[in-house]
Structure 1
Amino acid sequence: MTRLTTIGFDADDTLWHNEQFFRLTQERFTDLLAPHTDTESLHERLLAAERRNLGHYGYGIKGFTLSMIETAIEVTGGKIPAAVIAEIMEAGREMLSHPIELLPDVDQAIETLAPDFRLVLITKGDLLDQERKLAQSGLGERFDAVEIVSEKTAETYDRLFRRHGDGAERAVMIGNSLRSDVIPALEAGSWGIHVPHDLTWELEHAEPPRDHPRFRLVERLGALPELLRRL
């Protein structure tokens, strides 16, 4: 077996909580639009707007906020009060200042793995917001490299694991999203380790590649060092 030398970590909902703030804001959005449409229809139209806007705004809170505004205009036939739009914008600003809370076992796992591997943080989303969260997490100096990308593809992982390691074959990518963290890393030739989170955005859902020889699953990051020793 080829010895692993490099570990890639996702950030949002792998190292710290993130999706819960989107869910809370969406509940607030639902309450604001309740006089105009039902909850299920609003959710479907917001998700469609998010999917449609990914190519324009990318991932993150700013794109989510713009999609909420767009959806509000659509469901009200352009009659949404300016005061409601102002509340949606304020909700987005609050999301951009939410505190960072690390998930269980993060500190211990990183401390255990750092002496034996190159650790690379690979995250996607808004540059300023991702930099803010990393700074507040206190984890920034624990990584050998940090990469904030617009999308996670097999080509992305191939390029980054060659830049910061010994290539994809000797790397493993760890994250909560099968669609973004695991499957494209496997396609690049890396190992892919899924660490499920209770909350996952619908657009990140995918079927687990259970038959892939380099796919693994752990319930908590605390189990990661022992798993890596067995690979």
Structure 2
Amino acid sequence: MQQNILFDLDDTLIHCNKYFHFVQAQFADLMTTWFAPFGLTKQAALAKHSEIDIAGVQIVGFKSEHFPQSFVDTYRYYSALHGRTESADEEALLWKLGLSVFEQETEPYPYMNETLESLAAAGHRLHLYTGGDPDIQKRKIEAAGLQRYFRDRIYIRLHKNVEALKEIVRAQKLRIDRTWMVGNSVRTDVLPALSCGLHAIYLKQELEWDYNVLPIADAKPSGAFLTLSSLRQIPSAIDAYLTQG
């Protein structure tokens, strides 16, 4: 029985968070150097940045300018807190550092192609649903060679939530009982899918963004709700569920 399978992109099909963590580590090094006289620790700088970053995402969504701005806003917070004069050159350096995360290589997760090929060969209809700046996401999709699997079924949204997912399901006329959402984010993939009554596969990653982490113990799935650790587990897991059903 043909299924509609929506895949998230970042940290589901291709690596993303590890590059953010790499850039954040450089940010923390700069902050502790500049604010050394005030005893600022890397842990404190990263915690404040996470707080500012998440608050901003909830307002503006996944705009590319938001991440470098969160570096600058954290810098300004500590400058005001300690009475340190702000430097335009330091802010420019932070802005450039924040943007550099979007220039990193596109690296697929293991078994990406094999998994997508297996699902397509089984007759399933594949969709790609990702959050972010359209130009940046399109560049990643092209670099990873994903158009051949998803064709015109690629949806990019600045805000990735229940409303956005419902709009896609409605516009594409997807049957709820034959539609799956696969992703690493509890916030933007799993919980919206369950809220829409879709099947959900939580592809749990070791390195996760705090924004994506929410409790799922109270989730009440209408269909399948699976937690997997590798892309290569997905075809057999879906096949097993359909066979049992």
Task: State TM-score, norm by structure 1.
Answer: 0.91
Q: 1:175–1:193: 8 Å Cα contact kept in structure 2?
A: yes
Equivalent of 1:135 in 131, 139, 142: 142
1:56-135 to structure 2, matched below 5 A, reads: 56-59=59-62, 61-77=64-80, 79-115=85-121, 116-135=123-142
- Bigger mean CA deviation after superposition, 143-152 or 202-211: 202-211
Mapped contact 2:68–2:96 kept (Cα < 8 A):
no
Counting only pairs closer than 5 Å after superposition, residues 178-217 of structure 1 correspond to structure 2 as 178-209=186-217, 212=221, 213-217=223-227
Question: Take 1:73 and 1:15, find their aligned partners in 2: how far apart are those partners?
Answer: 35
* Per-residue deviation, 1:99: 0.7
- Alpha-carbon separation, structure 1, partners of 2:173 and 2:238: 17
1:138 to partner: Cα distance? 0.9
Superimposed CA distance per residue, residues 26-62 of structure 1 (whole angstroms, 9 cap, x where no aligned partner):
1111111103222222122212211222254322542
What is the number of residues matched between the two proteins?
229
**What percentage of residue pairs aligned between the two structures are identical?**
26
Match for residue 169 of structure 1 among 174, 177, 186:
177
* CA distance in structure 2 between the aligned counterparts of 1:214 and 1:102, rounded to whole angstroms: 26
Which residue in the other structure is 1:27 paired with? 25
Q: What does residue 10 of structure 1 align with? A: 8
CA distance in 1: counterparts of 2:57 and 2:99, whole angstroms: 19
Instruction: Measure the CA separation in 2 of the matches of 1:152 and 1:72.
Output: 28
Q: Which moved more, 1:22-31 or 1:40-49?
A: 40-49
Structure-2 change in CA distance of 1:127 and 1:137 (3 Å): same
Cα distance in 2, alignment partners of residues 74 and 111 from structure 1: 48
Taking only aligned residues, the RMSD between alpha carbons, in angstroms, comes to: 1.9
Distance 1:55 1:211 in 2: 24
In 1, are the aligned partners of 2:199 and 2:224 still within 8 Å (CA)? yes
Q: 1:56 to 1:206 in 2, by over 3 A?
A: closer
Shift of 1:100: 0.3
Query: 2:71 touches 2:95 (CA, 8 Å); kept in 1?
Result: no
Q: What is the TM-score normalised by the length of structure 2?
A: 0.86
**Runs of 4 or more consecutive aligned structure 1 residues displaced over 6 Å after TM superposition:** none
What letter matches 1:202 in structure 2? D
- Residues 60 and 198 of structure 1: is their aligned pair in 2 closer, same or farther, counting only changes over 3 Å? farther
Cα distance in 2 for partners of 1:65, 1:42 equals 15
Secondary structure of 1:114's aligned partner: helix
> How far does residue 25 in structure 1 lie from its aligned partner after superposition?
0.8
